[in-house]
Amino acid sequence: MARIAIDPVTRINGQLRVEAELSGGRVRDAWSSGTMFRDMEGVLRGRDPRDVWLLAERICGTCSTVHGLASVRAVERALGIMIPANARVLRNVIAASLLVRDHVLSFYQAQLPDWVDLHSALGADPAATSVLSQKRSGWSKSSSDYFRGIQARLAAEVDAGRPGLFGVGWWGHPAYRLSPEQNLLLIAHLVEALDWQRAFMRIHAVLGGKDPHPQTFLVGGMALASPWGGPSARRTQGHPDVPQRNSPDPLSEEGLNLIDTLFSDASTFVNQVLLPDVQLLAAAYPDWGAIGAGPGNYLAFGEYPLDDSSSPALGLPRGQLAGGNLEQVQSINQGNIGESVVHSWYRGSVNEGARGFLTPASGETSPAFDAQLPLASLDGAGKYTWIKAARYAGVPMETGPLARVLVGYAQGSQETGTALGEVLRALSLGPEVMPSVLGRLLAKAIEATVVVTKARGWLLALRQHLGTGDLAVADISFWDQGSWPPEAAGYSLGEGPRGAVGHWISIRDRLIDRYQVIDASTWNASPRDLNGQRGPIEAALTGVEVADAMQPLELLRVIHSFNPCAACAAHVLNPKGTGPFDLRVRTREGAG
Amino acid sequence: MSEDGLYAALVRRGMSRRSFLQFSAAMAAALALPAAYGPRIARAVEAAPRIPVIWLRGQTCGGNTEALLRSADPSVASMLLDVLSVEYHEYLMAAAGSDTDLARTSAMDRYPNGYLAVVEGAIPTAAGGAYCLVGGRPLTEVAREVCDGALATIAVGSCAFDGGAPAANGGSTGAGGVRQVVTDARLVTLPGCPLNVVNLAATIVHYLALGNLPPTDLGGRPLFAYGALIHNQCERRPHFEFGEFALSWGDEGAQKGWCLYKLGCKGPETMANCPTVRYGDGVSWNVRAGVGCVGCTTPNFWDAMMPAYKRLGSPAPFLPNLTVDQVGIAVVGAVGGAAVLHGAGMTAREHRRNVVARHAEQAAAKRHATAQARHEAELARLAPTAATTPAAATVDQTPVQQAPPVDTEPARPVETEPAPPVEPARVDNRGPVDDQPATDDQPATDDQPATEQPEGR
């Protein structure tokens, strides 16, 4: 039996170490370890709730805006603030654009080198690649010359004297199956994806001033101001006319046109490049529809509120599938969310609550690193990660695009059902392949196509709504803290591209008293819990065949299929205990 | 030019000659050099080899890498992936696990003192460095190894500058910037949350074209980017002058694009070039989008510049504004094969230019002190209870916005033709723009603050 370690797991955010015990060419057991911790809760405490979102936003720079949004929502719930419709739609547009961008990038930049042999592409025939491209889709960049140029750039990148980013890798590994032309085609699309997203993310820069970390969220709505006189009016200025230099007012006709154009280009890219490429992989690697399933429980908090009620309909579904039942969606009860730190580098609370998972306000928890440095092996280590084990009703849950697609499908969502059905039919695969590495890839591509279409619809609705003369983008009636109760608590449940995100806060004396975050990767990249149940990545790795222990490419495929973010997963420590806050603290009357 | 060179890489990438010249001009503008420097940069870049880079990540959200990837096409920083030869970057590289150690160490062996170290994120020192491990080793160790052997280290983002978010009040991991851990390496810092990647590109091009790293303040921040107040470049400054303020979110003032001073904008206290280089291919920056500056290039801004939506209650922490010419003749000579330019003749000219530049800076210092004092009086008049910026103390060494004078004209202050009143200079990727004027008749532009406190952490 051999024990291997992959540290660092590259092409992810944050620092992740994975160890696996191999026996007979298969993984017998696996451990997922986050090796970086920031103590964000420590720095979030004591801050003004109206701007704490700026700091919470810095939990992640790849999924920029996810945590900022979750933070303002938690504060708004604590204070009973309802935001204007325009703000709700703008938030959806921002979140949707991030999701589409992240799905494209996380596939091409993070996952492609696991499936595509870059060095094989150097021997491809550009003319044959051109034929292949034109057969697969109407995407315009498909000439022989174009592929020849990409090939030349690639060759220059990987010359022997200067390996660069792609020089060192497990090229030639037997697990690579694509032809040289298929490899070249996909690599060309990787380069294009990098170019495409640069332009696409101007949506965030236009709406929020910069990207990553646009700044436009407010407790109460958005800081965007409609142009005086409305979107169609010309900007009136009494003073020196400041040249705008191709920088439109975000909510002017020009600004909204720009955003719509970018979404239109995104729709083309996702449908003509991303989806066909994922299908190409699926056709070449169908056996990966039976590898890396994980625990088979799925959690989705839902996202994109579609109306302004206190329990809005959602664009992406909320629900959970557990116990192997993929047809009956159960509701989410926050009280079932908890964390275990038995196997994480924290001192556990003596008063671990119901089911053994930590609840707030009981006992003390603090960092307790007990390993020897340098870390040679996690073998035998009781505690082995900075990531806590998030569990739902004591059960490990996978979260992310696959969870959302399965929950949506089971709930009867028409767009999801249609898109999924078409893709599976074209590949001659049945729905049973979905709980797998391949399923995660397919779900991500499908979700991107569905969301980009929805987002364009929301943008149109926004324009129409602004056209009625309702230009309100923020409700600032709570801005003056004089109206706040002495204590308040709130939370938000939503979805980032990688999966479910929850923020829980309490406010005391107008300052943040406690802050807790459970992120997608706190679910997916979690360690064992106090009952010894493995986290989803650990479970998904178990049983996977590895051809070469020195080059465990297959394990990278499984890990990357979750697109974990080890920065988000391990950052929050509440000195008074972890887990969602005790929401019996009295909130503002009438708050939802 | 060599097939492995920078220019060849750009050509392979499909950059046309015209785009290349525009890129060079844009870099000249970003560096606040006169337009005449565009062709000079083009010549240097043509001859330049690609610079090897080892990029380390500490306690980071990854935003600076994302900024790198979001940088605008076709010119400026998007060329970084071809301009630089990134030999190690955990987020981008194909290799995984111990193969990454191989990639990193072989790059260090192949280019001793010839590679750039880039550090993103804070480095935690508590618990023996256990709060950030890479390959099982504390980042404190890896960072020292990599930075000590580098040609120079560039700290990108606020966390690598001074610890940033994890080092803010309440953080317990002993997080700090690169300087906390790596004391000997030559360091340039590019704070910002995240940094503006145009400044990273410009710093590197400065090195390629002029043979040295740009002059910096004592915090390591290049003066071309961090030498001027946001307030003095902001397109809403006319509204400030006329007393037109947005008073609450979404009100008439906000809709008309008025000054955000009363909603907490930290522009008057923050040194950066966001209004001129902007973000997203020049599409926008905070104030353009209707939110005030939060001061993210300032030391310890998560504590010093908060709350974001209120004026400060105590003086802002500035860095001492002394110019440090970080690359002397000896260092230029030492870079050897990695240096792209000319040789002894060049280095002597460099030296003379630096001396000349210092004379020019001193000559301009007095003018700027006067302008600064006038500006502070203005702020005090508008908001008598607002924080006073640090008192205008002695400013013997206040430099101008860095703009090396032409060889043949020693000791003449940098001047260009006068620009229209308070028109902020904007770096447009499509061509160079005129520099800010530096005459007594104009309102304060390109100021340095009078005094700055050394960074605490």
Asked if the Cβ–Cβ distance from A212 to B194 is below 8 Å, we say: yes
Cα angle, residue B310 at apex, residues B305 and B312 outer, rounded to 5°: 50
- Specify the 3-state DSSP secondary structure of A492: strand
pLDDT band at B50 (very low <50, low <70, confident <90, very high): confident
Which residues of B fall within a CB distance of 8 Å from A55? 165, 168, 302
Largest CA distance in chain A: 78
Instruction: Output the six-digit token pair for A87.
Output: 């703000």
- Which among B457, B438, B456 has a CA at the least distance from the CA of B447? B438
Instruction: Output the six-digit token pair for A71.
Output: 């933070």
pLDDT of B166-185, one tens digit each? 999 978 999 999 999 999 88
- Which among B197, B203, B156, B201 has a CA at the least distance from the CA of B178? B156
pLDDT value, residue A354 = 40
Most confident of A181-195, A234-248, A261-275: A261-275
CA distance A118 to A151: 10
Cα angle, residue A517 at apex, residues A512 and A523 outer, rounded to 5°: 170
pLDDT band at B315 (very low <50, low <70, confident <90, very high): low
Q: What is the mean pLDDT of residues A397-423?
A: 96
Residue A98 has pLDDT above 60, yes or no: yes
CA distance A11 to A426: 30
Which residues of B fall within a CB distance of 8 Å from A198? 69-73, 78, 281
CA distance B207 to B213: 5
The reply to whether omega before A552 is within 30° of 0 (cis) is no
Packed helices A180-200 and A126-136: angle between N→C axes, nearest 10 degrees: 60
- Test mutation, B11, B13, B249, chain A, max A CBs within 10 A: B249
CA distance A144 to A147: 5
CA distance B305 to B264: 9
Asked if the Cβ–Cβ distance from B291 to A159 is below 8 Å, we say: no
pLDDT band at B249 (very low <50, low <70, confident <90, very high): very high
Q: What is the mean pLDDT of residues B120-132?
A: 97
Residue B409 has pLDDT above 60, yes or no: no
Residue numbers of A between 198 and 227 with CB closer than 8 Å to B: 198-199, 201-202, 204-216, 218, 220-221, 223-227
Q: What is the mean pLDDT of residues B37-45?
A: 82
Higher pLDDT among residues B448 and B193, named by residue: B193
pLDDT value, residue A81 = 95
- Which among A499, A522, A536, A539 has a CA at the least distance from the CA of A341? A522
Q: Are residues A183 and A118 in contact, defined by beta-carbon separation less than 8 angstroms?
A: yes
pLDDT value, residue B298 = 96
Range of lowest pLDDT (A448-457, B239-248, B327-336)? B327-336
Task: Using CA coordinates, name the residue in chain B closest to A153.
Answer: B12
The reply to whether omega before B320 is within 30° of 0 (cis) is no
pLDDT value, residue B70 = 81
Q: What is the mean pLDDT of residues B46-55?
A: 84
Q: Are residues A46 and B170 in contact, defined by beta-carbon separation less than 8 angstroms?
A: yes
pLDDT value, residue B184 = 81
Q: What is the mean pLDDT of residues B36-43?
A: 84
Q: What is the mean pLDDT of residues B192-218?
A: 89
Higher pLDDT among residues A121 and B347, named by residue: A121
CA distance B124 to A204: 31
Tokens 């049945």 belong to A430
Residue A84 backbone phi and psi in degrees, to 5:
-65, 160
Which residues of B fall within a CB distance of 8 Å from A162? 4, 50, 52, 85, 87
Instruction: Output the six-digit token pair for A228.
Output: 């005086």
pLDDT of A213-260, one tens digit each? 999 999 999 999 888 766 665 555 544 445 555 678 889 888 999 999
CA distance A514 to A44: 8
Average pLDDT score over chain B: 74
pLDDT band at B120 (very low <50, low <70, confident <90, very high): very high
CA distance B133 to B124: 10
How far, rounded to the nearest angstrom, does the alpha carbon of residue B300 sit from its chain's CA centroid?
A: 16
Residue B319 has pLDDT above 80, yes or no: no
Task: Indicate the burial class of B129 (C-beta count within 10 angstroms; 0-12, 13-18, 19 or more).
Answer: buried
pLDDT band at B371 (very low <50, low <70, confident <90, very high): low
Number of CB pairs, chain A paired with chain B, less than 8 A apart: 342
Residue A379 has pLDDT above 60, yes or no: yes
pLDDT value, residue B211 = 82
Residue B457 has pLDDT above 70, yes or no: no
Q: For A28, what's the count of Cα atoms within 13 Å in the CB-facing half-sphere?
A: 9
- The CA radius of gyration of chain A, in Å to the nearest whole number, is 24
Residue B112 has pLDDT above 80, yes or no: yes
Q: Are residues B45 and A187 in contact, defined by beta-carbon separation less than 8 angstroms?
A: no
Higher pLDDT among residues A307 and A592, named by residue: A307
pLDDT value, residue B4 = 59
Task: Using CA coordinates, name the residue in chain B closest to A206.
Answer: B284
Range of lowest pLDDT (A394-403, A556-565, B444-453)? B444-453
Residue type at A26 in one-letter notation: R
Average pLDDT score over chain A: 89
- Which among B27, B32, B42 has a CA at the least distance from the CA of B340? B42
pLDDT of A456-479, one tens digit each? 999 999 999 998 989 899 999 999
- Which among B162, B191, B168 has a CA at the least distance from the CA of B63? B191
Instruction: Output the six-digit token pair for A488.
Output: 């308040």
Asked if the Cβ–Cβ distance from A156 to B248 is below 8 Å, we say: no
Verdict on whether the full-model pTM lies above 0.90: no
Residue B393 has pLDDT above 80, yes or no: no
pLDDT value, residue B198 = 87
Q: What is the mean pLDDT of residues B153-164?
A: 97
Which residues of B fall within a CB distance of 8 Å from A163? 87, 103
- Count of residues making up chain B: 457
Q: Which of B78, B134, B289 sits opposite A208 (nearest CB)?
A: B289
Asked if the Cβ–Cβ distance from B94 to A113 is below 8 Å, we say: yes
pLDDT of A533-576, one tens digit each? 999 999 999 999 999 999 999 999 999 999 999 887 765 433 33
CA distance B272 to B301: 13
CA distance B419 to B438: 10
pLDDT band at A358 (very low <50, low <70, confident <90, very high): low
pLDDT of B62-89, one tens digit each? 999 999 888 664 333 345 456 678 899 9
pLDDT value, residue A375 = 94
pLDDT band at A184 (very low <50, low <70, confident <90, very high): very high
Range of lowest pLDDT (A406-410, B120-124, B207-211, B419-423)? B419-423
Asked if the Cβ–Cβ distance from A62 to B62 is below 8 Å, we say: yes
CA distance B98 to chain A (A): 7
Asked if the Cβ–Cβ distance from A43 to B170 is below 8 Å, we say: yes
Residue A112 backbone phi and psi in degrees, to 5:
-55, -45
pLDDT of A272-298, one tens digit each? 999 999 999 999 999 999 999 999 999
In order of B160, B228, B247, B286, the CA distances from B265 in angstroms are 24, 16, 12, 10
- Which among A53, A8, A62, A23 has a CA at the least distance from the CA of A498? A62
Q: Annotate A314-378 with three-state secondary structure.
A: EEECCEEECCCCCCCCECCCHHHEEEECCCCCECCCCCCCHHHCECCCCCCCCECCCCCCCCCCC
Range of lowest pLDDT (A19-33, A132-146, B45-59, B358-372)? B358-372
Q: What percent of chain A has pLDDT over 70?
A: 89
- Test mutation, A116, A246, A247, chain B, max B CBs within 10 A: A247
Tokens 């096409």 belong to B73
- Which among B326, B36, B280 has a CA at the least distance from the CA of B152? B326
pLDDT band at B394 (very low <50, low <70, confident <90, very high): very low
CA distance B90 to A65: 23
Residue B323 has pLDDT above 70, yes or no: no
pLDDT of A299-333, one tens digit each? 999 999 999 998 999 999 999 999 889 999 999 98
pLDDT band at B376 (very low <50, low <70, confident <90, very high): low
Q: Are residues B208 and B23 in contact, defined by beta-carbon separation less than 8 angstroms?
A: no
Residue A27 backbone phi and psi in degrees, to 5:
-75, 125
**In this structure, how many other beta carbons lie within 10 angstroms of the beta carbon of residue B281?**
22
H or E element that contains A496: strand A487-496
State the first-to-last Cα distance of chain B, in angstroms, to the nearest integer. 45
pLDDT value, residue B365 = 57
Cα angle, residue A288 at apex, residues A124 and A23 outer, rounded to 5°: 110
Higher pLDDT among residues A379 and B355, named by residue: A379
Q: Are residues A457 and A314 in contact, defined by beta-carbon separation less than 8 angstroms?
A: no
The stretches of B230-388 forming alpha helices (DSSP H) are 237-241, 252-255, 274-277, 301-304, 329-334, 344-382
Range of lowest pLDDT (A103-117, A142-156, A253-267, B91-105)? A142-156
pLDDT value, residue B37 = 83
- The CA radius of gyration of chain B, in Å to the nearest whole number, is 21
pLDDT of B282-298, one tens digit each? 889 999 999 999 999 99
In order of A374, B144, B252, the CA distances from B126 in angstroms are 15, 16, 50
pLDDT of A475-524, one tens digit each? 999 999 998 999 999 999 999 999 999 999 999 999 999 898 999 999 99
**In this structure, how many other beta carbons lie within 10 angstroms of the beta carbon of residue B8?**
17
Instruction: Output the six-digit token pair for B128.
Output: 């023996």
Q: Annotate A227-269 with three-state secondary structure.
A: CCCCCCCCCCCCCCCCCCCCCCCCCCHHHHHHHHHHHHHHHHH
- Which among A369, A567, B155, B454 has a CA at the least distance from the CA of B163? B155
Beta bridge partners of B190: B156
Asked if the Cβ–Cβ distance from B257 to A9 is below 8 Å, we say: no
Q: Are residues A88 and A81 in contact, defined by beta-carbon separation less than 8 angstroms?
A: no
Tokens 């890798």 belong to A169
pLDDT band at B404 (very low <50, low <70, confident <90, very high): very low
